[in-house]
Amino acid sequence: MATVSKHIADQIKDNDGYYSDDPRVMRIVEYTNAWGAQAFGLEYERDLGKYAASEYVQDPKVYWEAETGN
């Protein structure tokens, strides 16, 4: 799982899903991790839905999502 800080999540959001030369992020999910800390998970096209609710991903909500032009 690719979990990043809020600072990095905001950079990706501000750059429409792009960060450095990484593939485009399609969704950023904000959640509470198993230790009670705020976390931001990155979902790429190949793994959308990876940050579904579980014991490790609590109260997930979409922080940002790419517009696909459909």
- pLDDT tens digits, residue range 36-67? 999 999 999 999 999 999 999 999 999 999 99
- The SS3 call for residue 5 is coil
Strand order in the sheet with 2-4: 2-4, 38-44, 25-32, 58-65
Supply the pLDDT for residue 1. Answer: 54
- pLDDT tens digits, residue range 5-17? 999 999 999 999 9
- Could you tell me the pTM of the whole model? 0.91
Domain ranges in the chain are: 2-65
Supply the pLDDT for residue 69. Answer: 64
